[in-house]
């Protein structure tokens, strides 16, 4: 059955955890941020969260707001895919052209997300909670070529809150996957 799950959400909310669970269930996995990481490597630039945000805006300005979705769509090989880090409403519109696409948003309290950020040591970690919040504010602009995370999250058909344990969250993800698979079967999707 065709099932392409786009994942949007705030930094350290659990997007990768959702993708890990789905990957364990046979889904191909791609990240729109990986498109940006690869471009930064090719340019010889340091991979930081600020650099990823700036490059995303640059590429959307040069190639159109849906460019990351177009680039990652060209990489897909099957009909069971998870797409992590969808951050712009035009990306959602382009991805909705794919049969079986559904958008999921993931969120958690800001204090929980900041604690996760400091523990994982990825790209440059903000010095404190206020810096973390300031960086997040850059993800919510009205610029159609930039990240518009709040607007993107509002477009999601499903929302998961990730404030508890990893096991609890993984159970919620599997429950949602079961629901989505049942709906796809009921809609007459075939494998």
| Sign of the torsion angle spanned by Cα atoms 69, 70, 74, 80 | positive
- How much is the pTM? 0.87
pLDDT of 158: 97
pLDDT of 154: 97
pLDDT of 191: 44
pLDDT of 123: 58
CATH code at 3-184: 3.40.50.300
Going by C-alpha positions, the residue among 163, 131, 129, 182 that lies closest to residue 9 is: 163
List of the chain residues with pLDDT < 70: 122-123, 189-191
pLDDT above 90: percentage of residues in the chain: 68
């Amino acid at each position: 059955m065709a099932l392409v799950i786009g994942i949007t959400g705030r930094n350290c909310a659990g997007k990768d955890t959702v993708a890990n669970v789905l990957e364990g269930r046979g889904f191909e996995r791609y990240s729109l941020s990986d498109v940006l990481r690869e471009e930064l490597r090719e340019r010889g630039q340091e991979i930081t969260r600020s650099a990823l945000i700036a490059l995303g805006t640059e590429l959307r300005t040069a190639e159109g707001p849906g460019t990351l979705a177009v680039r990652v769509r060209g990489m897909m090989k099957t009909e069971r895919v998870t797409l992590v880090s969808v951050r712009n409403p035009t990306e959602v519109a382009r991805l909705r052209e794919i049969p079986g696409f559904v958008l999921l948003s993931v969120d958690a309290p800001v204090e929980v997300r900041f604690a996760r950020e400091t523990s994982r040591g990825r790209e440059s970690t903000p010095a404190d909670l206020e810096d973390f919040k300031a960086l997040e504010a850059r993800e919510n602009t009205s610029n159609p070529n930039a990240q518009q995370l709040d607007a993107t999250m509002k477009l999601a058909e499903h929302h998961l809150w990730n404030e508890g344990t990893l096991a609890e969250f993984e159970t919620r993800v599997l429950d949602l996957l079961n629901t989505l698979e049942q709906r796809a079967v009921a809609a007459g999707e075939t494998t």
